[in-house]
Amino acid sequence: MLLTRVLFTISLMCCVNIAAAPLDSGSVDDFVTFMATHHDFNEEELKLLFSQVSRLEKTTKSLKNPAEKRKTWLQYRDIFLDEARVLNGIKFWKANEEALEKAKRIYGVPEHIIVSIIGVETRYGKVQGRHRVLDTLATAAFHYPGGSKRRTKLFYDYLVQYLILCREESFDPLSLTGSYAGAMGMVQFMPTPFRNVAVDFDGDGKKDIWGNASDAIGSVANYLNDRGWLRSEPVFSRATTSTPVRQSLVSNGIKANSNLALLKSEGIEPASSFSGTVTDAALYKLEGKVGPEYWIGYRNFSTIGKYNPRIKYMMAVAQLSEEILTRWHSMQ
C-alpha cells in the first residue's frame, strides 16, 4: 500500500537533517523520475524527501577503506573474538534459546552460527549504527568513492529497494539508522535481503530486526538457508600440513572451489574430524602469531561468505561460533 501523501509529508517535515554536504542534484532528479516512472512513487513527495537528505563524508571514507582491508587478521580477530563477545554470546543464547532451537529446526542452521553472526555484526544488537540509512544509501548511490560502476549500481539498487520496503512496512524513510554503508538492525541487513528473507519469526505482525531478537534470529537463519546452508556438513577446520604448501592451492575467494581429496594428496589434512562425506573445500592462509595458519573451509563456510564476502569476516564468524559452542557445552 502506498503511504498517504499527508502522513508522508508530515513525517518528513518533523525530521531534522544533521548531514552537511549536498547530494548531486542531477542524480537526485534522475532517481526521482525513475522511482515515479517504474515504482509508482509521487515525484513531489520524493523531492521533498530528498531535500532533507545529504552526502555523508563518513560513508565515502569508510567505503573506500573498510576495516577488512585496514587491519591484519590478528588485529581483526582480537576485535571479534574478545572475551566479552564470547560471554555475551552465551547470554544471548540463553535468553533466546527457544527461538534459536526453532530456527535450527526450520532452517537447519545451528544456534552457535546464528549467535556468532549477530555477535560479529552488532554485539548482539548493542551497536547497530547511528547513521541515517537514507543518507548513507544516497551517498553511496550518487557519490561512490572512485566512481566504481558496479558498486554504484549496487547501491543505486539498494536505494530503490529501501524506499520500496519503507512503503511496504510503513517505515518513515528518514527514521531508520544503520551502519556507514546502510546495513540495518541487529543483523545488519541491506534493503534487498530485508525484503527477500527478513521474517516475522514471533508472529506479531512485524519484521523487526532492530529490537526483536526472535525476528533477528529467524531472519539470519532464513538468509543462510536461502543462500544454500547444508544441514549435514561442517563449516571449517584448522589444517595440518606435512609438506610446504603450494601457493596455487591457497584460495582468495569465498567459494569452496577445490577438492578435499586433492588437498589431502598434497599433505593437507583437516585437524578436526566430522561425520558424513565432504568433497568441496577451499584452503585459506592467514598470518598467525608465529607464522602462517592454514584453514580448510567447506561449503557452509562459503555460505557465511554470502553474508559478507571477506575472508577475515568469514573466519571471525566461524571461530567465534566454535568458541561460543565450546563454552556452551561446558556449561551444560
236-310: CATH, from 1.10.530.10, 3.40.640.10, 3.30.200.20, 3.40.50.11540: 1.10.530.10
The pLDDT score that the predictor gives to residue 20 is 57
Per-residue pLDDT of the chain (332 residues; tens, 9 = 90+): 334 443 444 444 444 444 458 999 999 999 999 999 999 999 999 999 999 999 998 888 888 877 667 789 999 999 999 999 999 999 999 999 999 999 999 999 999 999 999 999 999 999 999 999 999 999 999 999 988 899 999 999 999 999 999 999 999 999 999 999 999 999 999 999 999 999 999 999 999 999 999 999 999 999 999 999 999 899 999 999 999 999 999 999 999 999 999 999 999 999 988 877 899 999 999 999 888 999 999 999 999 999 999 999 999 999 999 999 999 999 98
Task: Quote the DSSP letter at residue 274.
Answer: -
* The three three-digit cell numbers of residue 145, written as one number: 568513492
Which candidate, 126, 122, 124, 116, places its Cα nearest to that of 304?
116
Please tell me which residue in 45, 111, 121, 323 is annotated as part of the active site: 121
Q: 262-275, pLDDT tens digit by residue?
A: 999 999 999 988 87
Stated pTM of the model: 0.91
Domain ranges for the chain: 236-310
Contact 157, 190 (CB under 8 A): no
Coil, strand or helix: which one is 244?
Answer: coil
Edge-to-edge strands of the sheet including 291-297? 258-259, 280-288, 291-297, 236-241, 268-270
Which residue, chain included where needed, has cell 543483523? 187
Q: Calculate Rg over the CA atoms of the chain.
A: 22
pLDDT at position 57: 87
121 is catalytic: yes
Q: What percent of the chain has pLDDT over 90?
A: 84
